[in-house]
């Protein structure tokens, strides 16, 4: 099995944007990707969250690739994976 090529990350919004309270993404260069999100570039959701002046923070990361990102997104349980929303229980999920 090949080693992970990047980082899967979970962002928690301090308040919801419409229905969204989280963003789950992947990057091979996490620092650059987070800087892009801070500037409102990249994913459309992060662009509109930035425009709405919603504060956010990266709350969780996993070494992985796009297939891990897709598996986590397909589970549709970002709040359960988020330590802000789910406390320590979140840390036992998706290790």
pLDDT in tens, 4-15: 689 999 999 999
Q: Which residue has the higher pLDDT, 93 or 41?
A: 41
pLDDT value at residue 42: 85
pTM (whole model) above 0.75: yes
pLDDT value at residue 5: 85
The residue among 8, 78, 79, 20 whose CA lies nearest residue 49 is 20
Considering only the top CATH level, what class is 6-92? alpha beta
Q: What is the pLDDT of residues 61-82, one digit of tens each?
A: 999 999 999 999 999 999 999 9
pLDDT value at residue 94: 66
The residue among 20, 93, 16 whose CA lies nearest residue 60 is 93
Q: Dig out the tokens for 18 from the structure.
A: 């419409």
pLDDT value at residue 86: 87
């Amino acid at each position: 099995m090949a080693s992970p090529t990047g980082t899967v990350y979970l962002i928690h919004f301090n308040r919801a944007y419409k229905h969204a309270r989280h963003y789950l993404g992947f990057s091979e260069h996490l620092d650059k990707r987070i800087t892009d999100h801070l500037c409102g570039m990249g994913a459309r959701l992060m662009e509109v969250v930035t425009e709405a002046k919603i504060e956010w923070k990266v709350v969780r990361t996993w070494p992985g690739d796009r297939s891990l990102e897709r598996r986590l997104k397909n589970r549709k349980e970002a709040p359960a994976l988020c330590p802000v929303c789910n406390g320590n229980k979140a840390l036992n999920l998706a290790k």
